[in-house]
Structure 1
Amino acid sequence: MSTPVDDPLGPLDPVDPLSRERSHLAGSRAALRAMREDVEALDISDVTANWVNAEVLAHQIDLRIKALADLSDTPLFFGRLDYLHAPGVERAEGAEGERPRPEAAYQTLHIGRRHVHDADGDPMVIDWRAPVSQPFYRASKKSPMGIALRRRFGYTGGELTAYEDEHLSDPAEAARTSKLLQQEIERPRVGPMRDIVATIQPEQDEIVRSGLGGTVCVQGGPGTGKTAVGLHRVAYLLYAHRERLARTGTLVIGPNKSFLHYIEQVLPALGELTVRQATVDDLVAHVEVRGTDDAAAAVVKGDARMAEVLRRAVYSHVTMPTEAVVVVRGSRRWRVPAYEVEEIVRELLARDIRYGAAREALPQRIAHAVLVQMERSGEAPDDRVQDAVARNSAVKAAVKVIWPPVDPAKLVLRLLSDADFLAVHADGVLDEDEQKTILWAKPARSVKSAKWSAADAVLIDEANDIVARTPSLGHVVLDEAQDLSPMQYRAVGRRCTTGSATVLGDLAQGTTPWATRSWGEALAHLGKSDGVIEELTAGFRVPTDVITYASRLLPHIAPGLTPVASIRENPGFFEVRTASGAAEVVAACEELLGNEGSVGLIAADARIPELSAALTAAGITCLAPGEETTHETRLTLVPASLAKGLEYDYVVLDEPRAVVDGEPDERTGLRRLYVALTRAVSGLIVVHGAPLPAQLGG
């Protein structure tokens, strides 16, 4: 650690160099408290026209107050930049606070999780997302970006206890690895996932700051920080394009509720409180899911070809007219011949617009044909007359026959229940065996009585979009994307047709029968074929020995994929033990609970009841995935099927062979094992009685 010199804000005490930084921290906290008090003191009683506006404004003020909360255990700033020359501070769209100031005020900038300014509006802490903060993540000895000194701070329980300097403009000082950065990356963690603003690496920052207009797909192995990168990209986009995304909305999609609970505090800690979180099942919840599909049926239902089957089935309801439409108005009768109505119908079909939109347009088109006849006869009808004709009973009756309404759920119910109906619309798309695979053995009588599966709900969502366009959001983050089916990708893509997406995943961790084979295919199904694919290969979370052991499986589960290279200085703790029963597994858990941090016991789903009973007998309390660990209860019992996306300081992995055998085929089982092996941050103990899978040998 070097002694700071030539501080642009004034000389530091060489005996106690932290004193000035601690004083700045205290002043920043006081300034943030004043900012919050200013908002709390706002009187809106005389500034709103009605109660609706008052409610909206009050809600916005409440969100602002929450965003200005000072979390005692979360440092207000984690770094500092000393510029060689005063930088210009750009104000991003919708970002509050940053604005040009006199040159001296910007010689030194403290970088933190949010913007803090004093009573005069001068910044005391600069938001990490501001353009002027970017050198904190990207500056180097080779490319200092105008930075003389980069300082990192170390905290203990919210108190500033250490600092570390890099003199980027000093050629005499050799480049070195930041000890504080390593300590922050390797720090034990209890509770939900935390942000990584203090440790974002240059390759991660490039993805985080990529523009709103483009879709980015991130292939990242275990521990490369892809989930954190995706969440921080949302935070950055909300900063840079706040007004636009406030109108269009943002959404984070995760694989399950446990995962969403684990990540739910990251964005609020960065001051972003309005981002919705959901699973794909939440998005397509048009019916109650009470059934399950076998793997073969789920694969066919998840195939993108089902979209064409559904499109055919929906538009099969359109029939060409056989009779003229006769509209009576007063003493006159206006006749639109069948051939003219047919021309209108064919023109609407050719436009390839939504079924429902075309159905709404049809009566207006027929009414327009009537108005043309009126004008030819010397009348001068206006738009009110056209609307009245469109509502005429004869027109409405004709539309009902020609272009009847379609209920998406009833349509899918018929496709899965009626072999003849399915055969007609799947002809040339699905073969006979595939059609038999998805047909229900016991057809349901109604939508409510049907035992819908998760894949059926996605089909209904597709049909619903054929009938009426799904509203689009401004940006969607899709995590653990490798497990989605093509039809699920389409369901997500419908939510960002006019927006962009961040797709996160690892092809080696795909554990569904329909797992993604390539990101190019996934982006095509998402409707974002022009998306950019980035790869993260530097591992920040998984220790070297652990990731090296797990990577033995890569040639068998994802040939050609680049193994993760751990950059942690601490090699971590790794051991393989033989055991004769659950007692040794419990003993391993007790051993790891003697360390600081969280412990996860991961096992094949079928072994969870036995291990739960063994832990209870030993007097050890454990949590289920999604429940928040505390300093008192730090052990989580995790079924292997729910381990994806979670992480623990220490992991005990029970019976790898059982994890593999718990899946329908060996390849999927080995991928599930790869996931389970890579959940540890500091140490892993593999306990087994049965022989280990051969792919782990050697």
Structure 2
Amino acid sequence: MPVQEDPTRDAGPLGRERAHLAASRAALRAMREDAEGLDIRDVTANWVNAAVLQHQIDERIKSLADLAHTPLFFGRLTYLHPVGAEEAEGAAGDQFYIGRRHVHDADGDPMVIDWRAPVSQPFYQASKQKPMDVALRRRFGYTGGEITAYEDEHLSDPSEAAQTSKLLQQEIERPRVGPMRDIVATIQPEQDEIVRSGLGGTVCVQGGPGTGKTAVGLHRVAYLLYAHRERLARTGTLVIGPNKSFLHYIEQVLPALGELEVQQATVDDLVAHVEVRGTDDAASALVKGDARMAEVLRRAVRSHVSMPAEALMVVRGSRRWRVPAYELEEIVRELLDRDIRYGAAREALPQRIAHAVLVRMEQAGEAPDDRVQDAVARNTAVKAAVKAIWPPVDPAKLVLRLLSDADFLAEHAEGVLSEEEQRTILWAKPARSVKSAKWSAADAVLIDEAADLVTRTHSLGHVVLDEAQDLSPMQYRAVGRRCTTGSATVLGDLAQGTTPWATRSWGEALGHLGKQDAVIEELTAGFRVPREVIAYASRLLPSIAPGLTEVSSVRESPGSLSVRESSAPDEDVVAACMESLAHEGSIGLIAADARIPVLAKALEGAGLGYLGPGEETTPDTRLTLVPASLAKGLEYDYVVLDEPSAVVAGEPDERTGLRRLYVALTRAVSGLIVVHGEPLPEALG
């Protein structure tokens, strides 16, 4: 049991821990003041260097912020022997406080160790069976930023039985209001192994609801930035989520860990070459998202290259140099055979032609140098030949022509897409220009693919891709282009795929991403969703993801699930919301998209204020009205689910509808109330 003491007492172990917390906060404040007091006036050569250095200092100051209600440290390790030094006979072990960031005193001695440091790993990994030289692991309980309890595990004492940590369980179950919190104090051993996996390899995490896969991905970014800061500072990191609401929900996790430089985006943000104003039906989006479209685009881009029909004459001074058509053709075919990007080959072509001219100059007894070759490459005749042979390609105009010109599409889709598939993606009303076209999200991905065929996309050092199961093969390719020379963390749950092109297997998805050698890890222990709730939702698994391992929740919470049949669903849903509001924490009312206006009116009629997804809850407004299509990745302490059959009926097919229902059923952390007037889907029987 956690040891709790009178909060007014400063004596005893708890008093000493409070004193260390106060001293650590003072040391962190001194570190911040030192950074604020840096004078760079005499250490920079120019204003550019000064601006860069000042920006770095400002970021350092931000990272040293002391968040009043966030524990500076959450645990303590006492080792049996000194760490990192020769053991002296009878020497006592080292003691380290584990927290969100490193804090040192005026002499440079550590007062808090960053959770990512190697010496901190046993806090997450050590056990009775594998103590890792740890004599004692202490966890702290906090209230309002102050230590109120502690709990000890004597890992090296065989007489003490292993017990489940009550403080750990309380932290996991703690009600939440507002955005997602970090899980740095509650990382489990299997999660820690994924978090600390190396930068060089890609990791794919399959995890059911409540297994913490999103938190694992975010903490892995924080760990990689700690272990490879200099490299990732050069190459960059990116977190990709399914929508803006999700990104808003997770946006505070990394700053709480002291990481301020990680960018966040959706896939749509990455491929925003054009304004998206249109939508595709499911059949059209399915074809446009198919990986075969990459070959259609490749053919269409390369079709712009034409073989020279006549010789090229280059005039320099009084001399004329002739390059015959067959030799120009050899140069062009060589570039095509190399299969390099269209734009790179176009830039290489004038230099190749110039080289052919220089060979003739040398044969005639001249001694041209590189400057002559560059001058020949810029020659008017050479530039005209390059424009005719290898004209520039505008990616958006290329895709516009493919979707508007049936003959052009048929020419390049022959043997790749069937005639029916070609008709499916052709626009009924061809657009006259790129600006006037009503581009869809799938069209923007095609333009991004075409753009990469012309010019290489910039690669980052590491990318985290969350809710990956909903991406199309072409979207996977778009993400993969952003980490061709880096690595990725792919997070998802095959059972929660709700798009027509939802991922069927991680092996297939990783192939589209270009990370075939990725390690696939599976998280099956649930920590957030109560056992009763996840067991009820798992009745859908045989229908939506046969063969997938059911999540086994470590939390047993009797009374956490209530399924209510109603003759007046609207009124009973409002009553269920009022009942949930009697508890502490956030409440989510999830319903089929078509039911949202009706329920909004019912809530307003009852005088209940509510928010939309992505809006931050407050102590006064804790109820969020959530369309089922936006529920993925979010979680609430209490969930009221309206009319499950309507959620299923709102999707194009039953399997997708049942997957959407599975998502909605698993958003609750403490309790779920299901209200239905229509019969429940058979799979829940």
Match of 2:648 in 1: 660
User: Of 651, 676, 694, which residue of structure 1 is paired with 2:664?
Assistant: 676
User: 1:100 maps to which residue?
Assistant: none
- Rounded to whole Å, the distance in 1 between the matches of 2:82 and 2:219 is 27
Q: Shift of the alpha carbon at 1:88?
A: 2.3
Instruction: Verify: 1:174 aligned to 2:154, yes or no.
Output: no
State the distance in 2 between where 1:506 and 1:521 align: 14
After superposition, where does 1:344-359 map in structure 2 within 5 Å? 344-359=331-346
Could you tell me whether the CA contact under 8 Å between 1:572 and 1:682 is conserved in 2?
Answer: no
* Distance of aligned partners of 1:572 and 1:149 in 2 relative to their CA distance in 1, 3 Å threshold: farther
- The equivalent position to 1:36 in structure 2, one of 32, 35, 45, is 32
**Deviations 1:333-357, CA, capped at 9 Å, x for gaps:** 0111111111111111111110000
AA partner of residue 67 (structure 1): S
User: What per-residue deviation string (whole Å, max 9, x for no partner) do you get for residues 397-431 of structure 1?
Assistant: 00000000000000000000000000000000001
Structure 2 residues not aligned, in runs of 5+: none
What secondary structure sits across from 2:287 in the alignment? helix
CA 1:104–1:34: 2 relative to 1, 3 Å: farther
Q: 2-side partners of 1:571 and 1:71: how far apart?
A: 35
Specify the alignment match of 2:65 in structure 1.
69
CA gap of 1:363–1:106, structure 2 versus 1, over 3 A, is: farther
Find the partner of 1:55 among 48, 51, 69: 51
Does residue 367 of the first structure (1) align with residue 354 of the second (2)?
Answer: yes
Other-structure match for 2:267: 280
Provide Cα deviations, 1:268-287, integer angstroms capped at 9, x if missing partner: 00000000000000000000
Q: Which residue of 1 aligns with 2:427?
A: 440
Give how far 1:106 is off: 7.0
Residue deviations 1:448-497, cap 9 Å, x none? 00000000000000000000000000000000000000000000000000
CA contact (8 A) 1:3 1:17 kept: no
Matched to 2:385, the amino acid is: A
- Superposed structure 1 runs of 4+ greater than 6 Å apart: 103-106
**1:323 to 2:310 alignment:** yes
State the Cα distance separating 1:2 from its structure 2 match: 7.6
Say if 1:520 and 1:529, in contact at 8 Å, map to a contact too: yes
Whether 2:628 is the aligned partner of 1:632: answer: no
- For residues 13-53 of structure 1, the C-alpha deviation after alignment (integer angstroms, 9 at most, x for no partner) is 99722011000000000000000000000011111111111
Which letter maps to 1:657? S
Instruction: For 1:48, give the aligned amino acid.
Output: T
Please point out which of 130, 140, 147 is paired with 1:153: 140
Equivalent residue, structure 1, for 2:523: 536
User: Aligned AA for 1:605?
Assistant: D
* 2:601 pairs with 1:613: yes
Aligned residue for 1:134, secondary structure, equals helix
Secondary structure of the structure 2 residue equivalent to 1:80:
strand
Answer yes or no: is the 8 Å Cα contact 2:532–2:556 preserved in 1.
no
1:131 corresponds, among 93, 115, 118, to: 118
2:369 corresponds to 1:382: yes
* Structure 2 residue aligned with 1:526: 513
Q: Which residue in the other structure is 1:514 paired with? A: 501
CA distance in 2, matches of 1:374, 1:141: 81
Instruction: Write out per-residue CA displacement over residues 273-327 of structure 1, whole angstroms, 9 at most, x where no aligned residue.
Output: 0000000000000000000000000000000000000000000000111111111
Alignment partner, residue 184 of structure 1: 171
State the alpha-carbon separation in 2 of the partners of residues 104 and 187 from structure 1: 40
* Equivalent residues of 1:286, 1:461 under 8 A apart: yes
CA gap of 1:3–1:457, structure 2 versus 1, over 3 A, is closer
Equivalent residue number for residue 428 of structure 1: 415
TM superposition shift of 1:246: 0.2
Deviation at 1:570, TM superposition (A): 3.4
Report the RMSD for the aligned CA atoms in angstroms: 1.5
Deviations 1:486-534 (A, max 9, x none): 0000000000000000000000000000000000000000000000000
CA distance in 1, matches of 2:583, 2:72: 29
Instruction: Answer yes or no: is the 8 Å Cα contact 1:553–1:670 preserved in 2.
Output: yes
Q: 1:381 to 1:602 in 2, by over 3 A?
A: same
1:338 to 322, 325, 332: 325
Percentage identity across paired residues of the two chains: 85
Q: What is the one-letter code of the residue matched to 2:17?
A: E
Residues 3 and 14 of structure 1 are in contact (CA less than 8 Å); yes or no, is this contact kept in structure 2? Answer: no
Structure 1 counterpart SS, 2:12: coil
Q: Give the secondary-structure state (helix, strand or coil) at the position aligned to 1:685.
A: strand
Partners of 2:558 and 2:549 lie apart in 1 by 20
1:129 counterpart letter in structure 2: R
1:382 & 1:74 partners in 2: Cα distance?
Answer: 66
- Residues 194-240 of structure 1 show CA distances to partners (whole Å, capped at 9, x for unaligned) of 00000000000000000000000000000000000000000000000
Q: Confirm whether residue 392 of structure 1 aligns to residue 388 of structure 2.
A: no
Q: What's 1:83 paired with?
A: 79
Q: In 1, distance between residues paired with 2:374 and 2:20?
A: 68
Partner of 1:199: 186
Structure 1 SS opposite 2:557: coil
CA distance in 2, matches of 1:391, 1:14: 81
- Maintained 8 Å contact 1:368/1:386: yes
Distance 1:332 1:168, change over 3 A: same
CA 1:629 to 1:435, structure 2 compared with 1: closer, same or farther past 3 Å?
Answer: same
Q: CA deviation at 1:581?
A: 3.2
Partner of 1:293: 280
- The equivalent of 1:623 in structure 2 is 611
**Which residue is 1:604 aligned to?**
592
**Residue 214 (str. 1) matches residue 201 (str. 2):** yes
Distance in 1 (CA, whole Å) between partners of 2:502 and 2:428 is 26
C-alpha distance in 1 between matches for 2:628 and 2:678: 17
Contact 1:478 1:504 in 2 (8 A): yes
Contact 2:350 2:377 in 1 (8 A): yes
The residue aligned with 1:164 is 151
Q: Is the 8 A contact 2:81 2:92 kept in 1?
A: no
Q: 1:490 maps to what in 2?
A: 477
Length-normalised TM-score, structure 2: 0.97
- Count residues with an aligned counterpart: 677
Counterpart code for 1:624: G
> Over residues 75-100 of structure 1, what are the superposed CA-to-partner deviations in whole Å (9 max), with x where a residue is unaligned?
000000000111129xxxxxxxxxxx
1:463 and 2:425 equivalent? no
Unpaired segments of 5 or more residues in structure 1? 5-12, 90-102
Measure the CA separation in 2 of the matches of 1:617 and 1:481. Answer: 39
Measured in 2, the distance between the counterparts of 1:2 and 1:440 equals 66
Aligned position for 1:581: 569
**Alignment-derived partner of residue 214 in structure 2:** 227
Q: Structure 2 CA distance, aligned partners of 1:75 and 1:616?
A: 38
Letter in 2 for 1:280: V
SS in 1 for 2:490: strand
* Alpha-carbon separation, structure 1, partners of 2:569 and 2:157: 60
